[in-house]
Amino acid sequence: MTTKDQLCQAKTLPVLLLDDKGRVVISKNGKPIHRYVGIAFDYVCRAFVLVDMVRGWLEFMVSDTLENARMEAEYLVGKFR
């Protein structure tokens, strides 16, 4: 369940968007980001995601706060390396 606090924290993060062709785009402040690696927020699913555009990852996380998302991302990056 997404809380109001979670959405406020997510505003500081890049967001996942779909472009006109249905491709996933990472955007921050209305501008697309290329080769981004880190945590983003998906407003459609209202979930934090771990994105690694260099390797082609998009991993949904179950964290309910940004702090928990950072810890979960650290775990996932360590697990996959």
CA distance 23 to 17: 8
List, for residues 33-63, the tens digit of each pLDDT value. Answer: 988 888 998 887 888 998 888 888 788 888 8
* pLDDT mean over 2-7: 58
Q: Is the pLDDT of residue 70 over 80?
A: yes
Interval 7-14 mean pLDDT? 69
Task: Assess contact for 27 and 14: CB atoms under 8 A.
Answer: yes
Based on C-alpha coordinates, what's the Rg of the chain? 12
Q: Give residue 64's pLDDT.
A: 82
